[in-house]
Amino acid sequence: RDFRWTVPGRFNIGVAVADRWAAEDPDRTALFDYRADGAPDRLSFSELASKSNAFANALRSRGIRRGDRVALLLPQSFETVIAHLAIYKLGAIAVPLSAAFGSDALEVRLRGSEPRAVLGERESLERVTALGFEGVLIDVDNDLERLLADASPHFTAAATTPDTPALLVYTSGTTG
């Protein structure tokens, strides 16, 4: 009964998740995983902050603006986290979609969310193109590293509030 949320007037998820931690302890591990060959892989908070900043700049250079929806057809990966944070920093809205969706389910979600861009692996993007999507397509396997290398790692995040839309989630549809 005594608990109260302390909600700031300005809040950006991308800054809270990456930049704030990077300022406090830049070398602290933010993400940890194992590569396909079994070798460990890690990303520090400073790397996460700079990569998400660079990707926010890259998205902005492709015409993505505050309030735009950006669909993500990506598996769980470092790239997915970087993309989410970049979208939040822009003040855009992330729309995570499963690569396992069939054409009908994918089409319904793309039509309903009206994304300005779709991020995905080549095969997923081919399916999106076959459905008639005409927005920005970013192939994370072939384009992401170049986009990150060409963009500044410095970005001023959008001044979002706790009420600013950031994430649009569709159910799997298993209940009909």
Confidence (pLDDT) at 17:
94
Note the pTM of the prediction, 2 decimals.
Answer: 0.92
Confidence (pLDDT) at 38:
87
Confidence (pLDDT) at 5:
84
Confidence (pLDDT) at 59:
97
- Longest C-alpha distance within the chain, in Å? 54
Q: Do the Cβ atoms of 174 and 155 come closer than 8 Å?
A: no
Can you list the residues of the chain whose pLDDT is less than 70? Answer: 173-176
Radius of gyration of the chain (CA): 17
Strands of the chain, DSSP E: 29-34, 40-44, 69-73, 93-96, 117-120, 136-139
Confidence (pLDDT) at 86:
98
Confidence (pLDDT) at 36:
83
Q: H or E stretch including 159?
A: none
Q: Specify the 3-state DSSP secondary structure of 90.
A: helix
Q: Do the Cβ atoms of 91 and 69 come closer than 8 Å?
A: no
Confidence (pLDDT) at 174:
60
Confidence (pLDDT) at 128:
96
Cα–Cα distance, 21 to 23 (Å, whole number): 5
